[in-house]
Structures are given as C-alpha cells and as structure tokens.
Structure 1
Amino acid sequence: MSAKKLSTALQTPSEAALPLSKNSLTVLERRYLKRDSEGKVLENAVDMFRRVAESIAAAEDRLKTGNDAQALSGEFYRMMTSLEFLPNSPTLMNAGRELGQLSACFVLPIGDSMEEIFESIKQTALIHKSGGGTGFSFSRIRPANDVVMSTKGVSSGPLSFMKVFDAATETIKQGGTRRGANMGILRVDHPDVMDFIMAKRDQNVLTNFNISVGLTEAFMEAVDADGEYDIVSPRTGEALKRMPARKVFEHIVDLAWTNGEPGIIFLDRLNRDNPTPHVGEIEATNPCGEQPLLPYESCNLGSINLAKMVDEKGELDWNKLKEVVRLASRFLDNVIEVNNYPIPQIDEMTRANRKVGLGVMGWADLLILLDIPYDSAEAVQLGEKMMKFITEEARQASIELGEERGAFPNFTGSVFDKKGAKPVRNATSTTIAPTGTISIIANTSSGIEPLFAVSYVRQVLDNDILLEVHPLFEKIAKERGFYSPELMKLIAEHGTVQGIDEIPEDVRRIFVTSHDITPEDHIRMQAAFQKHTDNAVSKTVNFCNTATKEDVSTVYRLAYKKGCKGVTIYRDGSRDMQVLSVGKKEEKKDEKIVPMESHKAGKKRERPRALKGSTYQMETGCGPLYVTINEDNQGLFELFTTMGKAGGCAASQCEAIGRLVSLAWRSGVQARQAVKQMIGITCHKPAGFGDNRITSCADAVAKAIQMHMFHEEDVAHTQAGGACPECGGPVEHEGGCCVCHACGYSECA
C-alpha cells in the first residue's frame, strides 16, 4: 500500500462525510452502535467502522503474517465506509467489543438420545445468547411411537422435541440486538415426514423456526416417475414401508402455497459439493438456507455491494471488483481468527474447515445502472458470469492465503486434496446470503433479489406519512423531466411502475419489482448464481396471491431441473396478519377494503342496543387477554378486555385502555391512530410472547385491533409481506426471511 493511499485510508472523516443515508444512520443507531449499561449510545458510525476494521486487522499480528495491521485496518475501513463491502451483522455489532461473537449462524447436531437432545438445547441457548441463529436436522431422532429400549416406553418423535427447542428460543433474550432464529430440517424418508410437512398449518406453533423438508435424488426421481420411495427407520436403517412420492410432494406444495412453509432443500446436492466428506455428512443449513454446514460449523459471511462496481463511464469495473473480492476474502478469513465462539466444539470445527461465504448485494441496482431488465436473458447471463468471476477470484485469494498462512487443517483428504489442487485456506469461499439489514445500511437492493418497491409509504412515530422513492428512479425521473410528488405517490398506491403511462416505457422496463417478475424468472436468476457459488443461494420466489398450487409445483420442479440447492417461496397474502404496506391505496367506499374504519365526526356517537363484533385471544406476560371489538354501521365503536386471570392491576389497566379506546373511536379518532399509540409498548419481555410477539397488554390490544381491521378476505388486496412489528413499515419476503426496509427489522435476526 502506498504512503498516499495509506494516509487517505487512515483519515477519520465526520459521520456526515460518510455515504450513509438518513435511514442507514437510524438503523445503525438502533441496532449496531455500542451503548452503555443505561442504553446511551457511545459511538457513531465512524467509530463503529473503525472499531470493526481494527479488530479484524489485528488477526495479522496474531497470525504473525508480517503484514502491517494498521495499514490493513485502513484498507478495511475504506472498503466498509465506501459501502463496497459489509460483513454480516454480528461482526459489525460485536467486533472489538467484549462479546466478540462475529458469526451469523451455526449448525448443531441432534442425536437420538435424551442426553444428546438436551445437550443440543443447552448449546442452542448459548448460541442464541451470543446473537447467533441455529440450524438442525431432526432426522436422526426415532419416530413417534417407536420403541425406547432403555425405558421400554415409546418415543415422542422429532416434532415434540422441536417444540422444546422452540420454547427455549422464545425464552432467551439475545442481548437486545438479535433474536433467535432456527432452521429445522427433516429428511423426506423419515417416518414422521407427513406430520413435519403439516406442522406449521397452525401458525401458532414453531414460531421461531423456518422448516424445510430434505429431499433426496431418489425421491425426486420417484416424483417424476410417479413412483414410490422408501421410508427408512433412523434407528435401524431399515426400510419400513414405501410411499407414493408424488402424493408427499403434493402435500409439500399444498402447505407452501398455504403459508410459505415448508421450504425444500436438496440434500444430495449439498453433499455433492461438500468439500470435506471425510469429516462428515451435511444434514442441515443455517436459518435462511444459504449455508450448508457440518455439525458445529459456523457461517462467517460478508457481501460485496455490486452497485459500487460501476465506473464513471457506466460500465462494470472488473478490476475494482477483483480488488474488493481479494480484500474481502482476507477480511473474512481474519474474522475466523479473532472470533470468540460460543462453545469449544464450534471453535474447533470452524477453525478446522475455515469456511467463509463471500456474497453480493445490490444486484438489482447494478442491473438498473447498466440498463438491463432483471427478468431478461441478458441479466441471467451476466449473473452467471459475475458469480463465476467472484468465486474464481475468491478461490485464488484463498490459495494465496493458504501459501501465507497454511491450508485449512482438514485439507488432507478433502476434495481439493483428491483433485491435486493447490492448498487453500478456506474449504468454501462464496455464499449468496440474504442481506436485509446490511443492504439498508449500504442503501442498496438486497442480495440478488429484485427491487421490493420503487416507491412506498413509510409511517413514522409522529404520525407523519413519508414517501420513500428508490434513489435511482428519483434521479432518472428528475433528469428526464417526469418527476413529480404526485407521480411518486401514484406509484406507491399502484405498487408498481408498470401500467403508468406517465413513465417512459424504457424506464418501466428496468424498474421491475419482485411482483412484476414471473416465478420462473426468479428461479432462473437463482440458478444462474448457484452454478458458481460454493455454498447455496438464499432467495425468495414471490408469487401473486392468485397463483395456483400447480404454479408452486412447477417452480419446485424447475428449481430441481436448474440445479438449485433449495427453494423458498412466498405467495402474496398467504399468511395471517398481513396489513397494507406497499401499494394499494384505500379503495372507494363501495369496495370497503377496511369497512370498519371509523370516520371523523363532530360529536360522540351514541351506542345502539345491539352491535356486532369479534373476540381475540392474545398471549401476554400477564396471561391470556381477550379483546372484544364491536362495530356499528359507521365502523369501529367500542373495545372491551377480559384478563384470563381475574382482578389485579393488569385487569384494571386493560379495562381503562378499553374505555379510552372506545371513547376515542366514538369521538371520531381513527383506529390506526390508536394502534400507533399503543403498539410496541414494552412491559415484561422485549422479545414478546406468543406468535404475535406481544410485549405488553397495550401492545396486545393494538395487535388485536390490527387483526380485526384486516380480515382474511382483505388480504388479497395487500402487497409485500405485511407490517413491521416494530415500526409499522412495509415488510418484504426476501432471501428466505422477512425484512423491513424502513427500520431494518429482520425476522431472521
């Protein structure tokens, strides 16, 4: 590094000098910056990036590489503050701090004995406490009603133990920055597979789990041939019976169409690319499915912002991309070295294989900058070329790190060793991860997902309505003279730029969103990146609400045919509790999208003798709370509460809330104003209780009102993934997860 470059890198600009949006700074303050015991923020964004850069560069001294750690710190700092690369969230949060746990997620083994199962639960608790997510295969647990020789009793089966893991996750608070997330996998040939497929038909169970069925090549071949496949005892390895593969496949499709789960993972493909088969078999992945891991391995991830890889001529800067890939690869290998792992087994296994996952974000923004439609053959071809280049350069960087520092300890006997390849530092180099929150910090599109919206409405705490417009679209609209606040509002109401004649056709063509793109195009893009990715690709295939089960089946088969390692789908409006976010404005009166919404009036409405309504059971820290909401012919009229436990302060306070809300409604206050005043109020448990993550009795009342306002028949009118439980902003299903682009909330983090 030249003296001039080093001097520039080590300058410490003010926070205002960083290319961070207002929203980026808000997310950093809420989730990443260091605080004291009283919650006071102790650093700004500049301090955070400096803290991370210095901590990761310190590995050079620990490894005795002879490199200048201070100079490298400057390079890391420049790379992050220019938003060319960002590591996964735990690294930003914890590097250089006491916790020091820098990995996003882990896979733990689950054996078939009570001792092994509860040891895994203990290890899960330690991981979640440190801020990590966990993946498990429950396939080794004997099925329900199978014999237990030691007690002469019968097994309760894997699903019963999944519920214990789920309850443990619900109980653990993750240091106030990240909550627990789990992936549960069961092999398709397990005797309890049908119960597993149906497990989340009730959305009140396994709320802390994503679940996926592990499909085998034999199963998929039987599906294609409309044949049968073996169901195998995990205890004895014997085939117990045969089942019709297509029937099981159709059940998976049916539940995925219903509520997005289970996903599917092609187990044999994970092991086809297992670089260390002599160490073990891959049975599970991290919570979003992009990182197949052996038991006790961790994922250490980071993403390159492709939107920053365009030069002044508007062309791809391959040399710059190469430099960032090389530097980011060194950064991630250093992360493994300075990481403070939550349990010794993870420390040992992670260092033995040294897997890293360098991925990308800003893909949709890059395509816009290059004037290439996302759903075009040109985009798919570029995606494949791009990922091939990144993986080749990352592999070369790993070879050079191997020469400098030594190969990963399990290299002997690995696929690299058997092929006679040069020693490499890392068993894997690339992964396409969901980048929900770090892409918000970088002010770019998430992972390889298309845009979630061009313009959307964002509500803030002072009851103002803010219109968020994609910066590239706003820039083009102003340069070409068709920008107006009214048009931006129309786009937000319409949910897409398609069909709006005021926008030039060539602009509409490149600003396609996730719901403008066919599911088949989603899969083609995923497959293009998967072809040259060491690990896997996290992506959500979005369907419109009117999609059929056959549409889902077609996409699953296409994903298998195209070489994907797994698929996550989401059909718009298929889950309960969706409320208006992106798009549709309130319909005309005769459409009645929110028929019970009160209209402002000049005086309090009188109560009629009879009213209609509904009662909702909400789980709170004080016990079950029953919220009854009644309407008159003008809309919401009154609210009553009943505590499951009679009497006490909680019951009286809930009664007071009900009386005040009723008075407000009868006086003309709109329901959403009452919701915004109460939602998110915290009492006992910041993580929340139950499926709706109730944080207080007031929060329970607010969420009951939301449930009442948006009945199932109205769900088809909504777009995207619903409302953020923290800020009320729009939530999008992407990368196998739910992300709020307004505040950075992530369901998987």
Structure 2
Amino acid sequence: MPKLKMPASLPDPIINENAKIVLQRRYQRKDTEGNVYETTKELFWRVAAAIAEEEGKYKESTYKPAKLAREFYDLMTSYSFLPNSPTLMNAGTNLGQLAACFVLPVEDTIEGIFDAVKHAAMIHKSGGGTGFSFSRLRPKDSVVGSTGGVASGPLSFLKIFNCATEQIKQGGTRRGANMGILRVDHPDIMEFIKAKERDGELNNFNLSIGLTERFMQAVEKKEDYDLIAPHNNEVVGQLNAREVFNILVNKAWESGDPGIVFLDRINRDNPTPKMGEMESTNPCGEQPLLPYEACNLGSINLGKCYLKGKNGHDSEIDWEELKRIVHLAVRFLDNVIDASIYPLPQITETVEKNRKIGLGVMGWADLLYQLKVPYNSQTAVDMGERVMKFVRDEARSASKQLAGERGAFPTYVDSIFGEANLGPYRNATTTTIAPTGTLSIIAGCSSGVEPLFALSFVRNVMDNDKLIETNPFFEAALKEADAHSAKLMEEIAKVGTIRKMDHLPAELRHVFVTAMDIEPIWHLKMQAAFQKFTDNAVSKTVNLPNEATKEEIWDIYWKAYEYGCKGVTVYRDGSKISQVLCTGDDEKKKKEKEDDTGCVVQDRPDVIYGFTQKIGTGLGELFLTVNEMDGKPFEVFATIGKSGGSITAKAEAIGRLVSLALRSGVEVREIVKQLKGIGGENPKFMKKKLVKSIPDAIAYVFESRYLQGEHVDSEGASLNKEMCPDCGDVLVFEEGCHICKSCGHTKCG
C-alpha cells in the first residue's frame, strides 16, 4: 500500500450508479471471500498516492509527492482523466502490474513458440492483454531442418495460444485478450483469413491481416503478388491481390473478422526503428508495439473541457483546462512506468528504454453535443483534428518538460527525434486513442471518439426491473426545447435514436445523432482526423447497417488506406449471431407475409433486442440466443460445438423451427409443452436442474424467463438472462470491442 496517508479532509467522489457497479465488481479490493472492503475514496487515493510517490525519485521535480497525490486524486475523481484499468486495479497493491497491453515475439522454433505461450499466461494473470505476430513461423508442410519433420503452420500454434488463454483468469478481474496478426504475403494467409469462419473458434483472439504497400499497389493494379516463406525468404507462390482483398471484404461483411492493419504505415511512424520493426499491436489494434514492449494508457474526458459562453459569447472548448489536464496526465503516465512491476525482465528493459505512454481521449460525442455540432459534419471533423493536434502538441511539450527534470528516454539519441534534433523527450510516444469502455462508464461519458450508441436505452438493474438511461446533454437539450416528457423518453429508449421523430425540433435531430444514424464515411473521416495527430493509432468502429453491401465495405477499406488510417474495424449490424443489441429504426411495424402453407409469418424488423444464455448440456455448452419483440420471444439461434458437426446441425434446425413457430404466432407455453422433457443420450445436472437434451434446454430457458408462476419447477433457477456473462445486460459493439454498459464487462480483456 502507498506510504502517503489519506488526508482527513479528502472529499468523497461523486459516482453514478453504473460506475458504482463497475468499481465494486472490477476495481475495489476484496478479501479472500470476495467481499469488497475498499471504499471508492480509498481506491482513488490508493492509485493517486502510489503514482505520486514515484515523484520522490526526481530531485528536479516541480512537485512534492503529497501535493501531487492530491492533484492526481482530484484529476481522477472529477473524471477529467482516468488511467487504464490495470492501473486502477493494481496501483498500490502487491501485484503492481499497471500496463494495459504488451506485444510478445513468436520465434520460429518450438522453444520460442512455447516461451511466448508461457509469457502470455504470465501477462494475462497480471491483468494485461497481448499481441502476437505469427508471421515469422514457417508455413504449413514446410520441412523442419533439425528433425526432418513437417511444420504444422501458424494456425495450429494460434490454437494452442487460444487454449492457454482460456485457462487463465486475469488477476481475478479480466479475461485474457489477444491480437493475432499475419502478414498478407505469408504462404498460409488464406487459411488464416478463414480461421474464424466457424462460430466460437479462436474466441480469445482478435485477428488482423498485416497489409503492405506492395500488396495495396497490387490490389489497385489487379496484379498478382508474391508469397514469401519467412524462414528462408523464398518466393513459394503467388496470389491475385484483388481477389485476396475481396475475400477480406467478404469476411468483414459476414462477421467483422479478420480486421486489417497497414504494417508499412505503422512502421513509418516507428519512433525507434533501430530497435526493430513493429510486427503486431495490442488486442484492439490501437497500440503498435515492438516485441517485449508495453504501453501505459490513459484518457482525458473531453466532455469536461466545455466552456459555456457568457454575455452573448459563443460556447467553445476550454483550451486552458485541456492544457492543464494534458500536462498533469502525462506526468501521471510517466510515473506509472516507474511504479509498474512488469511480469518479465525483457519487458522491464524494453519499456524503460522507450518509456512509451498513450494519452487518449473520451467524451468526444459529449463535447460535440454541448457545442451543438453534429458528429457527421465537416465542422466536427475539423474540430477533431484541432483538438487532437492540441493534445499531441501539449503532450509532447509536457514530455519535454519531464525530460528536463528527469532526462530523455534512453534510446532518444538513436530515435527519429534525436536524429532530427527535435527533443529531448521523456517518452518515445505520447498519444493513443484506446478503448474506454469501462473508463467511460466510470466517468459517465461517451466512449473514446465514438458517436453515442444510443441517446437513451433500457438498463436491467434487477431480475425484472428496468431503468431508462439517457445521455444527460440530450436530456438537458430536450428540457431546454420544452420537449421533454416521460412518455417521450420511453419511446426513445425503445429505438435509441430520434432521427425519424419529426415532431421534435429539427436542430435536435440534426445535432443528437447516434452511431447508426451516421453514414459510414463520417466514421472513417473522424478516425482519420484523430489519427493525423496521434502517435500510435485510433481504436474506432465503422458501424454499418445490416443492409450494407460488400461494395460499401470495399470502399471503406480502400478509403481507410487513402485517408492514412493505420487499420480499420468494420461492424455490420446483425452480422454475428451473438449480437443482441441492434440499432437502427424500430417503429414496431409488424410486416406480415404468408408462407407456402398460408400461415402468417412476421418479418424480422430492423431493430431487435435479445439475450444469450449459456447452458451446460451433456453434449457441450449450448449458447441460446433469443431475440424479443414487445417482451416476447421472436427468434432463436442455438449454437453448440463446431460448425459442420451433426450436433450443431440439429441445434440449428431446432432453432430455426422454434423461430418459425414464434413468428407464426405459436404461444410460448405450447412450444415449452412440445420441447420440455425430451430425453437425450447424455443428460446433465446444471444448477440443480437436469438438462436432458438440447430441446429440453430451450424449453427450460423459455419457461424460466416467460412462464414464471405457471410452469416453472420449484428448483428451476434462472440462468444469465442476457448477453453479458457478468450482469445479464446487453453488450454493445464499439471501439472494436463488445462492452457491457451496465457492469463494464468486455470481451477484449
């Protein structure tokens, strides 16, 4: 624990209900029984004091540790800045691992591969995420000289990494997350591109294809390009670049996997090229790193940098406040480097040489709302460039100041800054736009540089209780326009957007846009605007409606290349079975059509909510997704086992037939009657309930959720009712990751 004592006069932080849940579940310290014993005030003081104590190492510092600790505490509890999750979790504890992300090398030897597996496990245990390039591994069926055997290829080892991750629970709070990258000129590239075609495969990995300038030029010219075996640099084949690019587009249209990163562009911005080439990024792609490098991240809440106009003056950004926050945040993050206990000596050595930090932003949509600037406008894009240029320039200025007090980062002389006489700087990089899923919940602000996912939505707070959550700036604008009412808020919560509510003032509908209201090009332009002045990269999702075409995704990928992005994540609404919150417009128009039997079957609407429940069966884990309309089940997707197996086929068939019955008006109780009790060859007890078969499991879910008091067994306890495995609420896809807005659960670790 920190040596600095908490001042008696320290004020309690003000926290919202969502933040209270997130902090208790993920950040506040617990005893061996899992009981929270740390208050919110103690949490923030623990972090502030532990990081400020590092200041005592530097005699030339302009701060005393006690004074700096109070400033750090105020900075965090005003929610103007928050560090990455491992810092909030582990600062001032025995674990002491404060970095969010790492990249590990995967060498082309059995020893090197399994060293990487072991090192990844150590990192995951300490609370970090890992990125790997598998591009050094020789292709499948290559001869292994030392044994005369045949290589199994990158994908076979990728599966080993995935299995190892499955067994590690990060520090009791975070599930391991990984990025796997393969160069587009690797001979096994086609197998890698198709690696996640089967649902559930490589579930602990995000995959990206490393595209090169040569490849992109070949795409443009419709030429073939060489496939090169990395172990001997021999050309072993060719593929048509345009055809490969089209396949990447098709996969993005189908599911969003794999993503793409532009390797040559990433390495052009490598500040320390003499230390090696950047091969991979962290799990969400915004932090390219050298092997054994780590980065400490933090985010400024831009929503707190709004300066309301007085005496007839226009409102604007509070540049002085933003400057103050940036300088204090850079000092905080540089101290984090010193305070962190890294899981490997190689990481400690590399981090101390380059001292990379990644200061980013959140609350961008909130700031635009306050300024009454539409996200999908050139004004907003220009403002994004201006804001990020200011943040980067001030971050570098703060880094120079620290270099004066503490010295430059050790590899400065050989860096691009040293060779150009631009420094000295304390940090090789200073800016990154990282995902802020849980941080934005704590701060009560919008995520990263994303538009708001919904202006208002229903949050599950108890088993059957629901609470309408509304963006505060939107609610204030409604009241100012004398348009607020409880009934209106309920209507908005059903769809999340006001784009088609013509009875509301046009200015409101113009300014308060959401992710799915915005044409894809504006997502991309905003990403490019922030990337222009970001040292590392930008975590951002280009949201697309379900009806988006492959041609549109092709255009986005190409424009991402032209606009100077370092990568791009595309997500087409409803493209994954597991998605349960689909945005767009839902006017609850039940279009109907007759099938060949004359039965009336409802069309699937544009907007539909649902949940996914995991049920243990004798045949494996069954994932049952049930989407609802008006609180009633509308369609079912049953997934179990690997694609192509007979069990999977049977589960899918049952799901389709149940969906057809539901859309044809068959009552839930009738479906339960038909499915309940059907026996199978491998019954299994789960939570005191005997699950006899897949249809029996579906009946159990329906009975538990929809027929309470009518057909529920006395021992039929309810399972997780929604997609989030922690709290049962819906997951949202933004910043390249699934995030629960209620409890902060994220699939990205």
TM-score normalised by length of structure 1: 0.86
1:112 equivalent to 2:108? Answer yes
Change (3 A) 1:243 1:420: same
Identity, % of aligned positions: 51
Give yes or no for contact 1:100–1:340 (8 Å, CA) kept in 2: yes
Q: Secondary structure at the match of 1:556?
A: helix
Distance 2:9 2:131 in 1: 41
Structure 2 counterpart of 1:639: 676
Partner residue in 2 for 1:59: 54
Q: What's the counterpart of residue 304 of structure 2?
A: 308
Question: Secondary structure of the equivalent of 1:546?
Answer: coil
CA distance in 2, matches of 1:10, 1:538: 40
Matches within 5 A, 1:215-226: 215-226=211-222
- Uncovered stretches (5+) of structure 1, i.e. residues with no partner: 1-6, 602-611, 682-697, 707-722
Amino acid at match of 1:27: V
Equivalents in 2 of 1:546, 1:461: separation in Å? 35
Structure 1 pair 391/642, CA: closer, same or farther in 2 (3 Å)? farther
Alpha-carbon distance, 1:578 to partner: 2.7
Provide closer, same or farther for how the CA distance between residues 69 and 599 of structure 1 changes in structure 2, counting only shifts above 3 A: closer
Which position in structure 2 is the counterpart of 1:522? 523
Q: CA deviation at 1:502?
A: 2.5
Equivalent of residue 128 in structure 2, options 127, 132, 155:
132
2:217 counterpart of 1:180: no
Q: What does residue 227 of structure 1 align with?
A: 223
Q: Is the contact between residue 482 and residue 502 of structure 1 (CA under 8 Å) also seen in structure 2? A: no
The partner residue of 1:274 within 270, 273, 282 is 270
Query: Alpha carbons of 1:497 and 1:286: their partners in 2 closer, same or farther (altered >3 Å)?
Result: same
Change (3 A) 1:647 1:570: closer
Indicate if the aligned counterparts of 1:598 and 1:634 stay in contact, CA closer than 8 A.
no
In structure 2, distance between residues paired with 1:376 and 1:643 = 58
Is residue 597–residue 671 contact of structure 1 (8 Å, CA) maintained in 2?
no
User: Residue in 2 aligned with 1:329?
Assistant: 330
More off after superposition, 325-334 vs 638-647:
638-647
Q: Superposed, which structure 2 residues align to 1:486-635 within 5 Å? A: 486-580=487-581, 584=586, 588=590, 590=592, 591=602, 617=640, 633-635=666-668
Change in Cα spacing, 1:662 to 1:329, as seen in structure 2 (3 Å) is: closer
Mapped contact 1:642–1:651 kept (Cα < 8 A): no
Change (3 A) 1:455 1:129: same
- Does the 8 A contact of 2:580 with 2:627 survive in 1? no
What does residue 475 of structure 1 align with? 476
- Aligned residue among 71, 83, 93 for 1:97: 93
Map of 2:243 onto structure 1: 247
The residue matched to 1:251 in structure 2 has which SS? helix
Provide the residue aligned with 1:608 in structure 2: none
Give, in whole Å, the separation in 2 of the partners of 1:561 and 1:228.
21
Is the CA contact 2:58–2:405 (under 8 Å) kept in the aligned structure 1? no
**Which residue matches 2:440?**
439
Paired AA for residue 373 in structure 2: I
2:409 maps to amino acid: F
Structure 2 CA distance for aligned equivalents of residues 154 and 656 of structure 1:
42
Cα offset for 1:492? 2.2
CA contact (8 A) 2:51 2:332 kept: yes
For 1:245 and 1:221, the matched residues in 2 are separated by 9
What SS does structure 1 have at the residue aligned with 2:194?
helix
| Letter in structure 2 aligned against 1:617 | I
1: distance between equivalents of 2:551 and 2:708? Answer: 39
Distance (Å, rounded) in 2 between the aligned partners of 1:674 and 1:215: 56
Secondary structure in structure 2 of the residue aligned to 1:466? strand
Amino acid at match of 1:360: V
String of CA shifts for 1:57-93, please: whole Å, max 9, x gaps: 0111134445310000011011111111000011111
Aligned residues: 689
Q: Could you say which residue in structure 2 is the equivalent of 1:83?
A: 79
Which has the higher mean CA deviation after the structures are superposed, 64-73 or 539-548? 64-73
Q: Which residue number in structure 1 is paired with residue 690 of structure 2? A: 653
Match of 1:710 in 2: none
Partner of 2:10: 12
Q: Which residue is equivalent to 1:748? A: 748
- The alpha carbon displacement at 1:447 in A equals 0.4
Task: Give the aligned partner of residue 30 of structure 2.
Answer: 35
Residues 592 and 268 (structure 1), Cα distance of their counterparts in 2 relative to 1, 3 Å cut? closer
Partner of 1:160: 156
Moved more, 652-661 or 71-80: 652-661
Residues 1:668 and 1:410: Cα distance change in structure 2 (over 3 Å)? closer
Change (3 A) 1:28 1:645: same
Q: Contact 1:299–1:357 at 8 Å: present in 2 too? A: yes
Q: TM-score, normalised by structure 2?
A: 0.86
Q: Distance in 2 between matches of 1:744 and 1:458?
A: 13
Partner of 1:45: 40
Shift of 1:728: 3.3
1:406 CA displacement: 0.8
Distance in 2 between the 1:133 and 1:668 partners?
Answer: 36
3-state DSSP class of the match of 2:516? coil
Q: Give the alignment's Cα RMSD to 1 decimal.
A: 3.2
Residue deviations 1:44-66 (CA, integer Å, cap 9, x gap):
21111111000000111134445
The equivalent residue for 1:686 is: none
Q: Flag the 1:188–1:8 CA change in 2: closer, same or farther, 3 A.
A: same
